[in-house]
Amino acid sequence: MSEGPGAAAARLTGRPVTDERPLSGALTEVTLDHGHVVMVKRGSDPGAMRAESAGLRWLADAGTVRVPVVHGHDTGWLVTDRVPAGRPSAGAAARFGRDLAALHAAGAPAFGAPPPDGPEHAYIGLAPMRNVAGGDWPLWYAEHRVLPYLRSAVDGGTLRRAEAAVVEQVCERLPQLAGPAEPPARLHGDLWNGNVLWGVDGHAWVIDPAAHGGHRETDLAMLRLFGCPHLDRVLDGYQETAPLAEGWRDRVGLHQLFPLLVHTVLFGRGYAEQALAAARAALTG
């Protein structure tokens, strides 16, 4: 019989399990001795849990945004602390913005750099994502973030070949569209609202990263793409700490191309329409 989440938690933490409660097919809430509650995630690929564990630790090492403690992982499982749920507030959102700015400022060795001990072949959600280092953000973003998913969408029939031309045009013009050069930021990498937990402690916590070195505007564009409570306060807190370069609002569509194309590959045509709209917006400013 294959190992279950409770047994995996006991093995990886070295502590006895007193209760377990499935939350989804991949996630189980497990109670250890003395009432300590952890989240146990089942991996879909041998490298996925290694990548996620390395990403969480890299983000935590910055000492900025709150990140659940990693208790252990292997090729099939990841065990982290549970974040007791609270409610979003304007104050927590502003703190999150300031903490996110500090996280980005902690930096990365290069664009595309994986976390220490993280694999080159990682994931964003359920989609494969390669962490390949590059020294020039526009060229790296086109080659390793936009074009691989554009090709997959065309090959899968979700995006028509003629439609791909507008995205390819964005890639060609990226050096002119990207704004002032910036150093590599330490990105969460999959910062949609579902990966931001509002804790009972009054802070925002982040989970499920696709962490790598990238452009800081990419994390912020993803927050805007899928909505975030008190987003204006998040951005205010961010700008107070590390003001964004002039014209950043005009570049939101440019940075949303990556997650939208990932979603096009994973979830279909509706996201293809959004990706094309983002590409056109990027070209028109």
Catalytic residue selected from 99, 190, 208, 219? 190
Q: Does residue 131 contact residue 212 with C-beta atoms inside 8 Å?
A: yes
Q: Does residue 126 contact residue 48 with C-beta atoms inside 8 Å?
A: no
Phi-psi region of 161 (alpha: psi -120 to 50; beta: other; left: phi over 0): alpha
Interhelix angle for 90-105 vs 231-241, to 10°? 40
- Whether 190 is a known active-site residue: answer yes
* CB proximity list for 212: less than 8 A, separation 6 or greater: 108, 112, 113, 114, 115, 122, 129, 131, 187, 189
Q: Does residue 15 contact residue 33 with C-beta atoms inside 8 Å?
A: yes
Q: Nearest-CA neighbor of 211 among 132, 113, 74?
A: 113
CA quadruple 80, 209, 159, 130: dihedral, nearest 10: -110
Quick one: tokens of 4? Answer: 């279950």
The DSSP code for 134 is B
Q: Which residues are catalytic?
A: 190
